[in-house]
Structure 1
Amino acid sequence: MVNKNDERNAEALISLGMNKNAAMALTFLQNMNSVTSVELERGAMLRQPEVSIVMKLLRERDWINEREVKKAGKGRPNKIYSLKVRFNDIIAQLEKQQKKAVDEAMKS
């Protein structure tokens, strides 16, 4: 679950332009080696569709690894997620992106 430090980290990501759900997911992933989508739902306090949307966004930014593990019996395999990029590097990328946007706005 999310503690005060996690909330501060999520707020920092949000202040850098990230949406709340992505910030919560990244903050939760920061503390874990790898998680299933169900663990991510519970730990980041997201619903299943929100997890799918956020993970697609994070995959597009190349910030996470995703793999599938077959479950015993029938059904879809579990998706396992882990950070591909260090949390501090993600913050640095967001800061750079925000600075670039400000610089471009100043030129206009």
Structure 2
Amino acid sequence: MQLGGYLIDFEVKILDENDLVFVSDLRNLGIQRNVALTLVYLSNVKEASSREIEIGTGLRQPEISLAINFMSDNKWIDSRMIRVNKKGRPLRVYSFCVPMETIYAFYELKAHKDYEESVLKINQLKVLIQKKDYT
């Protein structure tokens, strides 16, 4: 990677097949694709810049920004600025500030709420059908 005339050598984790299965499982729970990919990527590294997430996940910058904003709003990640070669604009890097269990609990609670809402709607329909006597 070249920044301001300097060549910087760094390694980027690329999601492997097991990671993509994990992403698929998260997607099946209703988690947005960009959030699932970013969650899995950050769970594999200590910290990462948006550019590293972009390379490692194949997401575009706007998709990463949306995922980062969602995770920041839920207080799942921290960010900090680092200087590269003490020149140019600082780079923002992201890392988890909560254990993955906290994130699992969030989605588990959401799934329970969604289920309860569905059951409530079905029961409301049953009551309406009985009142109208459609049978």
TM-score (norm 2): 0.73
Number of aligned positions between the proteins: 107
Aligned partner of 1:58 in structure 2 is 71
Partners in 2 of 1:63 and 1:14 — Cα distance?
18
Q: How far 1:60 moved relative to its partner?
A: 0.8
Match of 2:87 among 73, 86, 98: 73
Q: How far 1:78 moved relative to its partner?
A: 0.8
* Local SS of the residue matching 2:55: helix
Aligned partner of 1:27 in structure 2 is 40
Structure 2 alignment gaps of length 5 or more: 1-13, 122-135
Deviates more, 1:22-31 or 1:95-104: 95-104
Aligned-CA RMSD value: 1.4
Structure of greater relative contact order (alpha carbons < 8 Å, 6+ residues apart): 1
Q: How far 1:89 moved relative to its partner?
A: 2.8
Task: Pick the structure with greater CA Rg.
Answer: 2
Q: How far 1:49 moved relative to its partner?
A: 1.7
Partners in 2 of 1:98 and 1:54 — Cα distance?
20
Q: How far 1:6 moved relative to its partner?
A: 0.5
Partners in 2 of 1:86 and 1:11 — Cα distance?
20
Partners in 1 of 2:26 and 2:57 — Cα distance?
14
Q: How far 1:82 moved relative to its partner?
A: 0.5
Q: How far 1:40 moved relative to its partner?
A: 0.9
The alignment status of 1:38 with 2:48, answered yes or no, reads no
Partner AA of 1:67 in structure 2 = R
Partner AA of 2:82 in structure 1 = V
Partners in 2 of 1:88 and 1:36 — Cα distance?
23
Partner AA of 1:26 in structure 2 = L
**Which string of whole-angstrom CA distances, capped at 9 and with x for unpartnered residues, describes residues 17-53 of structure 1?**
1111110010010011111111111112111122111
Match of 1:100 among 113, 130, 134: 113
Structure 1 alignment gaps of length 5 or more: none
Partners in 2 of 1:4 and 1:91 — Cα distance?
21
The answer to whether the Cα contact below 8 Å between 1:16 and 1:95 also exists between their aligned partners in 2 is no
* Local SS of the residue matching 2:46: coil
Q: How far 1:65 moved relative to its partner?
A: 0.9
